[in-house]
Amino acid sequence: MMRYMLLGRRTGIRVSNLILGTGVLGKAGGYGAEPADVRAILRGYAEAGGNFIDTSDAYQQGQSEIAIGEFIAANRDDFVIASKYSRSAMPDPGVAALGAHRKAMVQSVEASLKRLETDRIDLYLVHMDDGVTPVEEIARGFDDLVRAGKILYGGFSNMPAWRISTAAATANLRGWAPIAAIQVEYSLLQRTTEHELLPMADELGLGVMAYSPLAGGLLTGKYRKGETGRVTSFKGSVAHEDAGGGATVIDAVLAVADETGATPGQVAIAWVMARGVHPIIGPRTHTQLEENLAAATLELSADQLRRLNEVSSVPGGYPHELLAVQRTKLMAAR
């Protein structure tokens, strides 16, 4: 059922094509899964062949890491665990605990290792760029943690491409542990990721973990049916249908779902997979997990992908639009 892919070209590690996201495993953040679902989600994912679990110290104030630690204790080596720092697990963190700097990195990794009950975190990412920590400090910090055996690889989430590529190039030139992966928001309702971040990852061989493949649940189409969920009950940083062309995208997803017999959510996840990156699914219940896992084997036709691509496309922005015009002229001149 699950397929395995290399995590980018800078590691030899094989991970399942669907990553398990665990942002809602716990309730300390005010919204999340029931305890029985937490255990059932972890078990169900592993039983389906999933081996790549994403968490953060900030998820549910550490409860997500604790649940994962308990679950993987019996066979730790079978799982690739990604965690993140910079937002702190504390409900009311002091200012020095926040940010991407070395102090936050070092104290956060120690706390995450304890919660995860493990000696090492396989992939450790900056959760959110602070915009001020020099990227050399972060890349060198990762290298020190790799040498100390506390992490195996470093990566970045929510950071501009120019900061990440500077870090990756510096690590390469200095012989530090390479930057291995990025984690980015990417879905049919968030395609600006394609402007800089995805081409950068391709060029540098970074693995890509795509979060919010359902745009927080919108792409399941359930809100069209009057159902409730995170978008209505817990207004976080999720996209809303009336933002931009969201409604027409959801129309197209529903149409493709009708044709395939799959659910709209499965279509949305399959679309992300078809872009060659790893979707991070974020089920809140075991039933949602089962539905999302079935997307692992859903292959959309070329025509379905073309229609979804067209309806969800976003303007390329500068300089990409200018360059596209120039390239067309160059091709015509041949």
Q: Catalytic residues, which ones?
A: 59
Residues 239-268: x where in contact with ligand NAP by CB under 6 A, - otherwise, as a string: --------------------------x---
Residues 69-108: x where in contact with ligand NAP by CB under 6 A, - otherwise, as a string: ----------------------------------------
Stretch that binds ligand NAP, among 9-17, 284-292, 302-310, 313-321 (CB under 6 A): 284-292
C-alpha 242/C-alpha 236 separation (Å) is 16
Contact flag: residue 295 with ligand NAP (CB under 6 A): no
Residues 197-216: x where in contact with ligand NAP by CB under 6 A, - otherwise, as a string: --------------xxxxxx
Cα–Cα nearest to 207, from 235, 167, 178: 178
Helix and strand element counts for the chain (H, E): 12, 10
Smallest gap, in angstroms, from Cβ of residue 221 to ligand NAP? Answer: 9
Question: Greatest CA span in the chain, whole angstroms?
Answer: 64
**Of residues 41-70, which lie at the interface with ligand NAP (CB under 6 A)?**
54
Contact flag: residue 178 with ligand NAP (CB under 6 A): no
Catalogue the long-range contacts made by 2-9 (C-beta closer than 8 Å, 24 or more residues apart): 2/48, 2/49, 2/50, 2/293, 2/296, 3/296, 4/51, 5/278, 6/207, 7/52, 7/80, 7/123, 7/180, 7/181, 7/207, 7/278, 8/180, 8/181, 8/201, 8/205, 8/206, 8/207, 8/208, 9/205
H runs (alpha helix) in the chain: 35-47, 63-72, 102-116, 135-147, 161-174, 197-204, 230-233, 246-260, 264-274, 286-293, 302-312, 320-333
- Residue from 18, 204, 281, 293 binding ligand NAP (CB under 6 A): 281
Return the number of the residue (143 or 291) whose C-beta is nearest ligand NAP: 291
Contact flag: residue 230 with ligand NAP (CB under 6 A): yes
Stretch that binds ligand NAP, among 115-123, 248-256, 288-296, 299-307 (CB under 6 A): 288-296
- Residue from 83, 86, 157, 190 binding ligand NAP (CB under 6 A): 157
List residues near ligand NAP by CB under 6 A: 21-24, 54, 127, 157-158, 183, 211-217, 220, 222, 229-230, 265, 280-284, 288, 291-292
